Copies of this chain bind each other. A is one copy, B any other.
Amino acid sequence: MSRKEMILAAFFYNPQGDHRLSWRHPNAPGQEIFDLAYYQKLVAEAERAKIDAVFIADHLGIWDNFESGVAHYANTRLEPITLVSALAAVTKHIGFMVTASTSYSEPYNIARTFASLDHISHGRIGWNVVTSALTEEARNFGLDGNIAHATRYDRAREFLDITKALWDSWEDGAVVIDKNTGYFADPQKVHYLNHQGDHFRVKGPLNVPRSPQGHPVIVQAGSSDAGKALAVAHADIQFAVIRSEQDGIAYRADMNERLARQGRSPDSFRLLPGILPVVASSQDEALDKQAALEALMIDRVSVDLLSSWAGVDLSAFPLDGPIPTLPDLESYDGWRTWLKLIQTESNKGLSIRQLARKIANTGSVPMVAGTARQIADQMEAWFVAGAADGFNLMFPLLPDDWVNFMRQVVPELQRRGLFRIEYDFGTLRDRLGLARPRNSFLA
């Protein structure tokens, strides 16, 4: 890759941090997670550090397939699109990658929302496209259980085809506002989709003009085969679960081949592995911090989480006994990334209790813990080796780990010439080195 500087996205789903019970930490926020001011401070820290974007994950329900979720899990939060629009109004440079589901929304509504956000933010918006893998989500939208994995991805692909066409339905320059002639728009530059597909029928055009980025940046996070196919067809950025430098190099090579088959250059695509950065004055102190978070885990929650992700009710088995047979990955309609990780770990002779605590505590991506210099070393190694174009930073504890990273690791990366020291003018796409998409209605 020719990029000299890495891309950094600062992630959260739980506003208390990515560790599943981080909300119990003495330094974690309390009721202020329902107040804009909390996020405004966090984002201001990231903007001072010249971070590319804040990345907000989402689910359309609470985690309650197993009873402990309601009592012990931090299940309530603000809705990300409203949150990001408010944050866009009080920031100038930082981008936002916001999650929305193709399974439980309509393309016209999503196209409109993101086009509008892109105008409001002057081109700082990305859409993290998800297909929603939780049965808890399905049950809030008229279903008994998940839509089949293949159907979800098929719908997602059609959804993105439509959304992009809606974003193109007013060409750049279509809105002329000629007060003398009475032409608000040039009708030659306004296009109809008349889309009729397996999942949707949409006439168009959109009622928002083409936005500063043409299309908001498209992010995709599923690394199943269907997920990779969707990414290659539609995404600018993939947020991936990568566990080592070698993994990352292999993953990137695979993606490059897939991109080539689609006629896309590797440079049209950015790979952002997730990492859990924990900054401390020494590696020991970093491990102590992690141990303090792990101590907050509740056995019941860890087993229920494992059950939920594995698609098997493990509470029916002895806690200190072996892991029972798990579902087949290829026919699993749940969250495959988690099942795959659990399958890998389940071959190591751990009991249900041990595996549950391990899985529940470590999260899906590798922890990178140590001094600012040690963390920068590891990030540099992955970046230089071509295992990553940058990172999605999934801090175990907020706001502490976030603030520490911004104040300690970012300056170290800047000293090494690996990260910008000032924002350039332009959109999020410009910053990421991604071309503004051509309009699909133009030959």
User: Which of A's residues lie within 8 Å of B, judged by CB?
Assistant: 21, 23-26, 28, 30-31, 34-36, 40, 59-62, 67, 70-79, 81-83, 85-90, 104-106, 108-109, 112-113, 115-117, 119-120, 136, 139-143, 170, 175, 177, 179, 182-187, 190, 200-209, 296, 298
- B120:A77 contact, CB within 8 angstroms: no
A199 to nearest B CB, angstroms?
Answer: 9
- B184:A75 contact, CB within 8 angstroms: yes
A60 to nearest B CB, angstroms?
Answer: 6
Which residue in chain B gives the minimum CB-CB distance to A36?
B120
15 A-B pairs besides A36-B119, A104-B109 with CB distance below 8 A are: A23-B184, A34-B119, A34-B209, A36-B89, A36-B120, A61-B203, A71-B184, A75-B185, A81-B113, A86-B120, A89-B89, A90-B90, A139-B203, A140-B203, A182-B298
Q: A31-B177, A70-B187, A109-B105 are in contact. Are A116 and B26 (CB under 8 A)?
A: no
- B82:A120 contact, CB within 8 angstroms: yes
Which residue in chain B gives the minimum CB-CB distance to A100?
B109
- A79:B112 contact, CB within 8 angstroms: yes
- B182:A83 contact, CB within 8 angstroms: no
- B207:A62 contact, CB within 8 angstroms: yes
Q: Which 5 A-B pairs have the closest CB atoms?
A: A79-B116, A85-B85, A86-B89, A139-B203, A89-B89
- A77:B207 contact, CB within 8 angstroms: yes
A181 to nearest B CB, angstroms?
Answer: 9
Report how far A36 CA is from B123 CA in the complex, Å: 12
- B31:A208 contact, CB within 8 angstroms: no
Report how far A186 CA is from B31 CA in the complex, Å: 14
- B182:A115 contact, CB within 8 angstroms: no
Q: Which B residues touch A60, using CB under 8 A?
A: 108-109, 112, 207
Q: Which B residues touch A207, using CB under 8 A?
A: 59-62, 75-77
Quick one: which of B76, B113, B298 contacts A170, CB cutoff 8 A?
B76
Q: Which B residues touch A82, using CB under 8 A?
A: 81-82, 85, 113, 116-117, 120
List 30 A-B pairs, Cβ < 8 Å. A21-B182, A23-B177, A23-B179, A25-B179, A26-B179, A30-B177, A59-B207, A60-B112, A61-B108, A62-B207, A71-B185, A72-B184, A76-B206, A76-B207, A77-B207, A79-B208, A82-B116, A82-B120, A85-B86, A85-B89, A86-B120, A104-B108, A108-B140, A108-B141, A139-B202, A140-B203, A140-B204, A142-B201, A142-B202, A143-B201
- A72:B183 contact, CB within 8 angstroms: yes
Which residue in chain B gives the minimum CB-CB distance to A142?
B201
Q: Which B residues touch A89, using CB under 8 A?
A: 36, 40, 85-87, 89-90
Quick one: which of B115, B177, B184 contacts A79, CB cutoff 8 A?
B115
Report how far A77 CA is from B70 CA in the complex, Å: 41
Q: Which B residues touch A74, using CB under 8 A?
A: 184
A107 to nearest B CB, angstroms?
Answer: 9
A204 to nearest B CB, angstroms?
Answer: 7
